[in-house]
Amino acid sequence: MKHNSFNDYAASINAAIEEYTTNKQECFFNPISYILSLKAKRVRSSLFLFSCDLFNLKNKSLIYGALAIEFFHNFTLIHDDIMDSAPLRRGEKTLHKKWSVSTAILAGDTLMVEAYIMLNKLSKIRGFNDAFNLFNKTAILVCKGQQMDLNFERKKDITLENYLKMIKYKTAVLLGCSLKMAGCFSSNIKDMELLYKVGVNMGLAFQLQDDLLDIYSEKSGKKIGGDVLLNKKTLPYFIARQEASRQQKKDLMSIYGSKKHTNKVAETLALFNLLDVKEKGGQFVALYFKKAFDCLEKVAAPKSKKANLIEYLNFLANRSY
């Protein structure tokens, strides 16, 4: 039996989003339609649909669970972009740049409400309460992670351990939720906990990979070195600090401690290259992808049913944008 590919899942989600936006013709919904129309991989919502297939869930209304996850994710992107003053999202203007900060806030708030409207469409399926509680717990952790991220911009004594906890909350738990939530509707406790770990480790690897791509990729659709310009201490920073000599540490702190440093990104990249940050960071990313693969191996399902996620993890592990 041929199982759906992640391209198939993304196509189903895009079709459902198109149907949603087609029915929202008021001007009020234009910013929401805009953010949802931007080119996206639909990673989190596709993971949910994959997990539905893995647990042999056939209810067609489960697409609303995927939309709930996708809408919540986009809500976080809108608000994150405002807080980061980001000019671009997926290569296009962010909502607050295209419209205004106030409009973007309202669009994000509305998407959050719409996420719950979508999730509530599953309320008659057995296991809904567990799924609803998981979604709520995840939403709070994601917001907590964002607050930690903001706090870290003003602190100088952040450790790699602190940073990993922050990105676990801000990014990884939503991927864990995406894989686990379908299990709530199947009551397969052992496998849904393993899948949660797959998602969390995948999310950690994904974010750490993004940290590297922020300064090493010109294909990300984001401003090169955006984290450096915002003085955000991410994986490259922690590796550099660990590998640097005393003078190099002083240089690193000087660059990150200044908002008006001339040629900030270029000087940071030069220092990172001296310290072999790209290769060492890649090894760190590979470690978390391995943890995800190891947990997936333990999931009690035929390898043929797990093949699409294995292939997808390999794709993500080798992405350059």
Q: pLDDT digit string (tens) for 246-296? A: 999 999 988 887 777 678 999 999 999 999 999 999 999 999 999 999 999
pLDDT band at 187 (very low <50, low <70, confident <90, very high): confident
Give pTM, 2 decimals. Answer: 0.91
pLDDT band at 25 (very low <50, low <70, confident <90, very high): confident
Are 175 and 203 in contact by the 8 Å Cβ rule? The answer is yes
CATH superfamily assigned to domain 6-317: Farnesyl Diphosphate Synthase (1.10.600.10)
Structural tokens at position 29: 């919904």
pLDDT over 70 (residue 3): no
Average pLDDT, the chain: 93
State the Cα–Cα distance between residues 77 and 222, nearest whole angstrom.
13
pLDDT band at 155 (very low <50, low <70, confident <90, very high): confident
Task: Go through 110-144 and write b for each residue having 16 or more CB atoms within 10 A of its CB, e for each that does not.
Answer: bbbebbeebbebbeeeebbebbbebbeebbebbee
Instruction: Give the 3-state secondary structure of residue 92.
Output: strand
Q: Where are the domains of the chain?
A: 6-317
pLDDT band at 1 (very low <50, low <70, confident <90, very high): very low
Nearest to 101 by CA among 72, 76, 79: 79
Are 284 and 163 in contact by the 8 Å Cβ rule? The answer is no
Q: pLDDT digit string (tens) for 212-242? A: 999 998 665 566 888 888 788 899 999 999 9
Q: pLDDT digit string (tens) for 92-136? A: 999 999 999 999 999 999 999 999 999 999 999 999 999 999 999
Q: What is the DSSP string of 201-265?
A: HHHHHHHHHHHHHHHH-S-SSS-TTHHHHTT---HHHHHHHHH--HHHHHHHHHHHT-SS-TTHH
**pLDDT given at position 221:** 56
